[in-house]
Each structure stands twice: as C-alpha cells, then as structure tokens.
Amino acid sequence: MIFKPAALLVTGGAGFIGSNFIHSFMANNHRCTVTNLDCLTYAGNLKNLTALEGNPNYRFVKGDIGDASLVARLLAEQKIDAVVHFAAESHVDRSITGPEIFVRTNVLGSQVLLEESRKHWQSGSVADFRFLQISTDEVYGSLGTTGYFTEGTPLAPNSPYSASKAGADLLVRAYHETFGMPTLNTRCSNNYGPYHFPEKLIPLLIHNIINKKPLPVYGDGLNIRDWLHVRDHAVAIETVLKKAAPGSVYNIGGNNEWKNIDIVNLVCDLLDERLGRACGENRTLISFVKDRPGHDRRYAIDASRLKDDLGWGPAYTFEQGIAETVDWYLANQEWVAEVTSGAYREYVATQYGGGVS
C-alpha cells in the first residue's frame, strides 16, 4: 500500500538536506502542500528556497520545533498527515565545543515534535499519518577496516552530535512501541551537493581552494566516509515515506567509501582544471591539522534493505555528482559569499523584521 501524503510538515527545511528535499518532493508531488517549520539558526538560509516564493502549495513558518503550541497549531490548521523531521544541530565540531544546544534541539525538540504529533494523530483528524525521523549513520559509532552498518547494528554514538541523534531515534522507536504511532526512521551517510553550508568538508574545500586558503585535514586524513548525493537522499526519503511499513528503520548510503585525503586531492585536481591553475597547484594548500577528538575512523552503510524492500538505489555516480557540485559552487559564488559574509542573515531580517534567532 502506497501512502500518499496530502499535507507535509517539514522541519529544518531551510537547511542543506531539508531544502533539497523540499525542491525534489514538490517537483514530484504537485498536489501536496508543504509547510516548512524552521527557526533559522546560522545553518538555515531562506535563499535556498527563493525558487518557491509565490508557490501556493508552499508555506514557510519561522519557529522552533520545541514550541509545543506552535507545532500543535500547525499540525491542526494545516491538517498535516506527515512530518518529515530534519531540524537539528548538525555539525560534529560544534557539538564538541558546545554540546548543550545539540541536546536541546535534537533530543528535547524532537520529543516535543513527537508528542504534539502523537496528540494530533490520536485525535483522528487525519485518515493516516507518518512521522519520519531523519537520522545519521553516525549513531552506530565507528567501524574498523571491514564490515558495514546494518539496521541491526547496536547504537554506539561517539560524539555529542551523534549521541543526541541516537537519543531522538530511541524516542521515535519508543513512540512506535508504546503508542503504536506510525513512525519511520532513516539513517543516512554523509551527503554532498548544492546548498551545503561551507563548514562541512566538501563545500569548505571548494570555498578555500577558490580563495587559495589552507585546506585543513584532520589527523592523518585516512578516516573514511560513505558519500551520497543529497538529491539521491531526497528520493530515498520520499520512497521510505510513501512505501515503508510503519515502525521501520532504513539505512541510506551511496556504497561510495572515500578516505578524506583522497576526496581532498580529487577536489583539488578538479578545481586545478576548472580554475585554469597548474596541475597539482591546489594540493599545495593541504594542511594536516590536529585531529578531531573522538574522530570516528570509518563509516560504511549496508543499504541493501532499502534496495530489496523498496527498490531504491542511488542514481548519481560520485564522479558525476562531485563534478556537478564543484560546478554548482562555481556558478553560485554569490550564495557562498552571502553565507560566508553572513549577508544571508540580512535577507532573513528583511523577511522577518529583524527577528532572527
């Protein structure tokens, strides 16, 4: 049975993955309304969504997932039948220097959203309902040189970020087990693509190379991540939302493992060519720096359950995806400049009377 949502509440839709998901979902689902609830932290950028201004099926609400009365009102007023929950503090390095906001948003905020969703679902005002928690492979901890994370791998988070995501995942599980709430949970590997905030590895590299700034590589650069194009992730989320059985958990991955240093070299070389620099010139910017505390060594996802049950697989090859991503950043230098200068905050202020949090 395919679940066909009529009114989606997307949280954190002004961020990297949320904005890509809204673009992708709205292009495929013309009759579904989308309400985007985002409190616009430093990572929320309405410029990611300007193409949707004036679309009658799209509505942006500036607000916090931890605001129970606002969430309750939106669920009821908009007759929401599916919540897709992206809103989070998402950067591991920030969670090391300031873990408290990670617990507040990722654990307590998610609990408020779950609780208001439970009341709304139990009120019977919508015929069917789904709550989809967007999570990360980082909840499983770190792998050695072999093996893959499956959905059965025990949760063993190592950073305050991944611990807070695991906390939310466990609450989602509990709401399904205790109340029978129709929840879904996806756990994805590292994403890359357009609208990625340049504090994360790939956009940081592109930005620093263009500006001839050092490229910080943590530790020995041999940590491994499994990279997935954000648009493939968006399609996977839509697939799970529509086709997965309530209560299920799905891993999402690109089957695309890379050592960090190999990604750094690849992006350097692509940009040597794009920027007309000498072969090897950008690699001279590489700077090995002190390692991240508790730095997970390797992530690798077994996404075969998603392929076998629901037929999803990535469409992008990494060669195509990374080349397109580099080209997107080169073509959107204004977006990057506004993000790095903080000017995108002024755009938010013009829309919300200066009331940015």
Q: Show which residues are catalytic.
A: 137-138, 161
Which residues in 152-171 contact ligand NAD (CB under 6 A)?
165
Query: Which one, of 216, 209, 185, lies nearest residue 290 by Cα?
Result: 216
State in angstroms the smallest separation of the CB of 312 from ligand NAD.
16
User: Cα-flanking dihedrals φ and ψ of residue 84, to 5°?
Assistant: -115, 110
State the CB neighbour count (10 A cutoff) for residue 278. 8
* Binding test (CB under 6 A) with ligand TYD, winner from 68, 173, 210, 218: 218
Which residues in 10-69 contact ligand NAD (CB under 6 A)?
11-12, 14-18, 37-41, 43-44, 64-66
Cα–Cα dist 112/104, whole Å = 11
Question: Which ranges of 198-317 does DSSP label H, i.e. alpha helix?
Answer: 201-210, 230-243, 260-274, 304-310
Which residues in 264-323 contact ligand TYD (CB under 6 A)?
292
Token duo for residue 32: 């579904």
Q: For residue 105, state whether it binds ligand NAD (rule: CB under 6 A).
A: yes
Cα–Cα dist 184/173, whole Å = 9
Q: For residue 223, state whether it binds ligand TYD (rule: CB under 6 A).
A: yes
- Which is closer to ligand TYD, CB of 131 or CB of 258? 258
Binding mask 81-100 for ligand TYD (x = CB under 6 A): -----------x--------
State in angstroms the smallest separation of the CB of 41 from ligand TYD.
16
Residue whose CB is nearest to ligand NAD in the complex, by number: 15
Measured at the CA of 288, the angle between CA 287 and CA 292, to 5 degrees, comes to 130
Q: Which does 109 bind (CB under 5 to 8 A by kind): ligand TYD, ligand NAD, none?
A: ligand NAD
- Which is closer to ligand NAD, CB of 110 or CB of 282? 110
State in angstroms the smallest separation of the CB of 299 from ligand TYD.
7
Q: For residue 200, state whether it binds ligand TYD (rule: CB under 6 A).
A: yes
What DSSP state is assigned to residue 138?
G
3-state secondary structure of 224: strand
* Phi-psi map region of 345: left, alpha, beta (phi>0 left; psi -120 to 50 alpha): alpha
Cα–Cα dist 123/108, whole Å = 23
Q: For residue 225, state whether it binds ligand TYD (rule: CB under 6 A).
A: yes
3-state secondary structure of 203: helix
Binding mask 149-188 for ligand TYD (x = CB under 6 A): ----------------------------------------
Residue-level length of the chain? 357
User: Cα-flanking dihedrals φ and ψ of residue 99, to 5°?
Assistant: -70, -20
State in angstroms the smallest separation of the CB of 185 from ligand NAD.
11
Cα torsion angle, 8, 14, 15, 20, sign: positive
Whether the Cβ atoms of residue 114 and residue 172 lie closer than 8 Å to each other: yes
Q: For residue 216, state whether it binds ligand TYD (rule: CB under 6 A).
A: yes
Q: Give the rounded distance of the alpha carbon of 57 from its chain centre.
A: 22
Q: For residue 190, state whether it binds ligand TYD (rule: CB under 6 A).
A: yes
Cα–Cα dist 286/301, whole Å = 28
How crowded is the C-beta side of 233, counted as CA atoms within 13 Å?
29
3-state secondary structure of 275: coil
Q: For residue 325, state whether it binds ligand TYD (rule: CB under 6 A).
A: no
Binding mask 124-153 for ligand NAD (x = CB under 6 A): ----------x-x-----------------
Q: For residue 252, state whether it binds ligand TYD (rule: CB under 6 A).
A: no
Positions touching ligand TYD (CB under 6 A) are 92, 190, 200-201, 204, 216-218, 223, 225, 260, 292
Positions touching ligand NAD (CB under 6 A) are 11-12, 14-18, 37-41, 43-44, 64-66, 86-88, 90, 105, 109, 134, 136, 165, 188, 190-191, 197
